[in-house]
Amino acid sequence: MTREFTENLEEIATFGFEKIDPDEKVEVNLKDLMYVFSTLQEYQRFFHQP
């Protein structure tokens, strides 16, 4: 069995998107969404330190 790897970040980030039903809906509490957003910002600040 051979495995194919890619260096293309867009392919990595969008892997499996075509399998998602376009009519699928998700409800997210705004407070939880803001927590995730803040966490991602903190990761970005941490990993992009000079």
- Write out pLDDT tens, residues 2-48: 777 888 899 999 999 999 999 999 999 999 999 999 999 999 999 98
In whole angstroms, give the CA distance from residue 38 to residue 35. 5
CB proximity list for 12: less than 8 A, separation 6 or greater: 6
| Cβ atoms of 12 and 6 closer than 8 Å | yes
pTM, two decimals, is 0.56
In whole angstroms, give the CA distance from residue 44 to residue 37. 11
In whole angstroms, give the CA distance from residue 17 to residue 11. 10
Q: Where are the alpha helices (DSSP H) in the chain?
A: 9-13, 30-47
Domain boundaries, the chain: 24-50
